[in-house]
A and B are shown apart, each in its own frame.
Chain A
Amino acid sequence: MIRLLSIALLLLCWQAAALFADPRLLPGPAPVFAAIVEQAQSGALLVNLAATLARVIAAFLIAMSLGSALGYVMGRRALLDRLLDPFVVVLLNLPALVVIVLAYLWAGLTEAAAIGAVALNKLPNAIVVMREGARALDARLDEMADVFRFSRAARLRHVVAPQLAPYIAAATRSGLSLVWKIVLVVELIGRSNGVGFEINMAFQLFDVRLLLAYAIPFVLLMLGVETLLVQPLERHVSRWRRSPARGQGLV
């Protein structure tokens, strides 16, 4: 309810500002909405949103799976951590634009280069978060699993994964927003479709209306992913936490 109210307030402010501004610089909600409808009817909106979303998902999955695996082993094996840590630090501090341009120069203006560059930008962040998670694993539960001879699969599923779940959720949260922002840059520089490409077009045509007509639906889409997918998943994996503890400290 409060959320709806704050959105209504935002729309109102936008409308008010648009009344006083140059309509070319800041069109009001109504013309932008009309542009969205127009783009949707021509089918261009859907094609471009889908292209961008596909890139976001691909880059995110690559970065998360690779980052989780690397972060996990680095958190558990001190030697590997020392070996790989310098690379993580370099990646962490390499500007996104450098990675993108290098990827395009080395691998050409291809889809693989685009997705790879985005994944590489997200990778160190996923590694760092998952490494923290792996370091925080409870050694006492590991011993319990040793004594009871848990299978590898049971250990991963019942001992390790539940402890890593909050870290995975955190990495997903920060990761999704990072990835989709970088995907737009990648599209702007070297792709011929997607939201980033359309925004580039809007920039060349000085068409703020078109820019907003692509930006707003995509932000809404990512908001939907967050509230309809990420948050319910987070609630599901942490449901055991909410049961009020009647006893003393456990584990």
Chain B
Amino acid sequence: MSHDGAAALLEVRVSSKDHVTAGGRSLCVLRDLQFTLPAGRAGAVVGPSGCGKTTLLRLIAGLDRQYRGSIRLPAGGRLGMVFQEPRLLPWRSVVDNLRIAAPQASAATLAALLARLGLAEHAEHFPGELSLGLARRVALARALAIEPDLLLMDEPFVSLDAALARELRGEIAALIDEKKVTTLIVTHDIREAIELADRVFLLSTRPARVGATLEIGTPRRALTKEAADALQREADAAIEAMRRR
């Protein structure tokens, strides 16, 4: 394995990743999984539950170095991550959570970021006083506060109600466009991926590899319902083909 920085793009080549189960058996989760994502673009990884999406994200984040292959991060290599659960420090206020993660950011920058995500009046609250939707926003604000070279998000909309998920999705799409940060989102919802990403990587079942890549030509903002429907049909066909193979 190697894990080095400095590249104009995110380049992932994992030849194999095994988990050792509690019973001592080895479980191959990822095999020959490769993809690249140009800097400044948003990619989405879509795959069935349990196929290894979180595992992949942990490899990219450098939290797990037990794998064979190589991963190159975009130049700079600063990571912002939104975990599947918010993982805030419950004993620090919202604004302190941002400040601790991003000590170099000015107070004005943080205040602007909080206001941008509708969190202005929650700045002094503790995470325990927030709803899940708000806590997710704080986790997103924290990841953006460090001005990352790569933003990783693991199922950022899971267990939010549909309206809230749509709202947050719109905000994330706008922020990606605004900050031009290289972003990789993990989700199991193809529609979500199509609406957010420039490139969608469809994973096969375990052991996962990239079974098909979907290029979303039109910019996020201009994507019509018809175009999205067409892309979704394309994705469904690709998934069907993967399954039959």
By a CB distance below 8 angstroms, the chain A residues around B78 are: 149
Q: Is there an interface contact between B130 and A148, defined as CB atoms closer than 8 Å?
A: no
Q: How far is the CB of B79 from chain A (nearest CB, A)?
A: 5
Q: Interface centre among A141, A147, A149, A237, by most B CB within 10 Å? A: A147
Of the stretches B6-14, B81-89, B165-173, B217-225, the one at the interface is B81-89
Q: Is there an interface contact between B63 and A141, defined as CB atoms closer than 8 Å?
A: no
Q: Is there an interface contact between B100 and A158, defined as CB atoms closer than 8 Å?
A: yes
Complex Cα spacing A146 to B87, Å: 12
Interface flags, B90-117, vs A, CB<8A=1, else 0: 1110001000110100000000000000
Chain B contact surface mostly:
loop
Interface flags, A61-99, vs B, CB<8A=1, else 0: 000000000000000000000000000000000000000
- Closest A residue to B64 using CB positions: A143
Complex Cα spacing A135 to B203, Å: 36
Complex Cα spacing A141 to B90, Å: 10
Whether, in the assembled complex, A152 has its beta carbon less than 8 Å from a beta carbon of chain B, the answer is no
By a CB distance below 8 angstroms, the chain B residues around A162 are: 89, 91-92
- Closest A residue to B92 using CB positions: A158
By a CB distance below 8 angstroms, the chain A residues around B86 are: 250-251
Whether, in the assembled complex, A154 has its beta carbon less than 8 Å from a beta carbon of chain B, the answer is yes
Whether, in the assembled complex, A247 has its beta carbon less than 8 Å from a beta carbon of chain B, the answer is yes
Q: Is there an interface contact between B100 and A150, defined as CB atoms closer than 8 Å?
A: yes
Whether, in the assembled complex, A243 has its beta carbon less than 8 Å from a beta carbon of chain B, the answer is yes
Interface flags, A227-242, vs B, CB<8A=1, else 0: 0000000000100110
Q: Is there an interface contact between B132 and A140, defined as CB atoms closer than 8 Å?
A: no
Within 8 A of A (CB), among B120-141: 125-132, 134-135
Whether, in the assembled complex, A3 has its beta carbon less than 8 Å from a beta carbon of chain B, the answer is no
- Closest A residue to B159 using CB positions: A248
- Closest B residue to A248 using CB positions: B132
Supposing A147-B61, A248-B132 touch, asked if A243 and B89 sit within 8 A by C-beta, the answer is: no
Supposing A148-B146, A150-B101 touch, asked if A240 and B90 sit within 8 A by C-beta, the answer is: yes
Complex Cα spacing A249 to B127, Å: 10
Q: How far is the CB of A20 from chain B (nearest CB, A)?
A: 55
- Closest A residue to B85 using CB positions: A251
Whether, in the assembled complex, B50 has its beta carbon less than 8 Å from a beta carbon of chain A, the answer is no
Q: Is there an interface contact between B89 and A141, defined as CB atoms closer than 8 Å?
A: yes
Q: How far is the CB of A183 from chain B (nearest CB, A)?
A: 34
Interface size on B, residues (CB 8 A): 33
By a CB distance below 8 angstroms, the chain A residues around B76 are: none
By a CB distance below 8 angstroms, the chain A residues around B125 are: 243
By a CB distance below 8 angstroms, the chain A residues around B90 are: 240, 250-251
Q: How far is the CB of B39 from chain A (nearest CB, A)?
A: 19
Whether, in the assembled complex, B62 has its beta carbon less than 8 Å from a beta carbon of chain A, the answer is yes
Interface flags, B134-171, vs A, CB<8A=1, else 0: 11000000100010000000000001000000000000
Q: Is there an interface contact between A240 and B128, defined as CB atoms closer than 8 Å?
A: yes
Within 8 A of A (CB), among B45-89: 61-63, 78-81, 83, 85-89
Q: Is there an interface contact between B63 and A147, defined as CB atoms closer than 8 Å?
A: yes
By a CB distance below 8 angstroms, the chain A residues around B127 are: 250-251
Supposing A246-B131, A248-B132 touch, asked if A240 and B91 sit within 8 A by C-beta, the answer is: yes
Q: Interface centre among A143, A151, A243, A247, by most B CB within 10 Å? A: A247
27 contacts between A and B (CB under 8 A): A140-B83, A140-B85, A141-B87, A143-B87, A144-B83, A146-B63, A147-B62, A148-B80, A148-B101, A148-B146, A150-B100, A150-B101, A154-B100, A159-B89, A162-B92, A237-B91, A240-B91, A240-B92, A243-B126, A243-B128, A246-B130, A247-B130, A247-B132, A248-B132, A248-B159, A250-B90, A251-B127
Q: Chain A interface (Cβ within 8 Å of chain B)? A: 140-141, 143-144, 146-151, 154, 158-159, 162, 237, 240-241, 243-251
Q: Chain B interface (Cβ within 8 Å of chain A)? A: 61-63, 78-81, 83, 85-92, 96, 100-101, 103, 125-132, 134-135, 142, 146, 159
Known: A148-B80, A148-B81, A243-B125. 10 other contacts (CB 8 A): A143-B83, A143-B87, A144-B87, A158-B96, A158-B100, A237-B91, A240-B128, A243-B126, A244-B128, A246-B131
